[in-house]
Amino acid sequence: MSSAPRRMRAVGMAVVVLAGAASALAAWPQESVGGPPAGFSLTPSFNEEFDGAALDTTRWRTAYRTDGVTPPTVANRSLYGNRERELYFDPAFLGLGVQPFSVADGALTITAAPMSPSAREAVAAAVAQQPESIRNSPLKDVSYSSGLITTKGSFSQLYGYFEIRARWTGGKGLWPAFWALPADGGWPPELDVMEALGHEPTTVYQSVHSKQTGAAVGDTTRVAVGAGTSAFHTYGMLWTKDEIRFYLDGRQTAARPTPTDAHKPMYLMANLAVGGYWPGDPTATTPFPATMTIDYVRAWKLAE
Q: How many other C-beta atoms are found inside a 10 Å radius of the C-beta of residue 13?
A: 16
- Is 48 a catalytic site residue? no
- Is 190 a catalytic site residue? yes
Residue of 48, 84, 86, 190 marked catalytic:
190
Please choose, from the candidates 65, 59, 63, the residue with its C-alpha nearest in 3D space to the C-alpha of residue 185: 65
Interatomic CA distance for residues 173 and 193, integer angstroms: 20
Which of 130-139's residues contact partners 24+ apart within 8 Å by CB, and which partners?
Answer: 130/73, 130/74, 130/75, 131/1, 134/75, 134/80, 137/80, 137/81, 138/80, 138/81, 138/83, 138/84, 138/85, 139/74, 139/75, 139/78, 139/80
Interatomic CA distance for residues 119 and 96, integer angstroms: 7
Residue of 48, 86, 163, 195 marked catalytic:
195
Please choose, from the candidates 183, 185, 161, 193, the residue with its C-alpha nearest in 3D space to the C-alpha of residue 264: 183
Residues with a catalytic annotation lie at 190, 195
